[in-house]
Amino acid sequence: MKADGTVISDKHPKTAEDTLFLHGTLSPSPSFLSDNVPVSFVLRGGQPFKGTPGLDWRILGTKGELRITASSTMLQIGTEDTKVEFHDAATDEVEEVKVTTDAFDKDLPIEARNVARVYEAIAAAGDDGKQGRLSSFEDAVEKHRFLESL
């Protein structure tokens, strides 16, 4: 596909899953980032390598490392086997982080929980939007700037 979105040729069928690589450092925009935060991100489609989770996300911090694993890369939807672990650098111990559950977790199928939470937040915000905090246009602009910086 060309930069303007036109198709170069439709005669060559896709024969491999999509793969996305992002590597670099982020500047301090958006405001919650410090300067020169290193990022390495790989996302590939298709079946995971046999015996490995479909999602293996690691976040390295000053006190250790978080590891989030699941059978699917669709973390926003969720899977029953999603697991969060913390490796404490000082003690060299790994502990599973228990994620709190609520009515959404026991009363709704996993695929419906994320959308149900959004509807719940909209309802809680009320007509004037002041009772609860929803994303604003300015939030969306900041996210777009962040994505553009990638």
122-147 per-position pLDDT tens digit: 787 766 555 556 777 888 898 898 88
Rounded-to-integer distance, Cα 70 and Cα 63, Å: 23
The pTM is what? 0.63
Give the pLDDT of residue 128: 59
Query: What average pLDDT does the segment 91-99 reach?
Result: 95
pLDDT the model gives residue 73? 84
Collapsed DSSP state (helix, strand, coil) of residue 55: strand
Residue 33 has pLDDT above 60, yes or no: no
Count of CB atoms situated within 10 Å of the CB of 4:
5
Report domain extents, the chain. 55-99
Residues whose CB is less than 8 angstroms from the CB of residue 106 and which lie 6 or more positions away in sequence, other chains included: none
Residue 40 contacts by C-beta under 8 Å, 6 or more apart in sequence?
A: 22, 23
Burial of 70 (0-12, 13-18, 19+ CB in 10 A): buried
Structure tokens at 134: 């929803």
Give ∠ CA 104-97-27 in degrees, rounded to 5.
95
> How would residue 10 be classed by pLDDT, with cut points 50, 70 and 90?
low
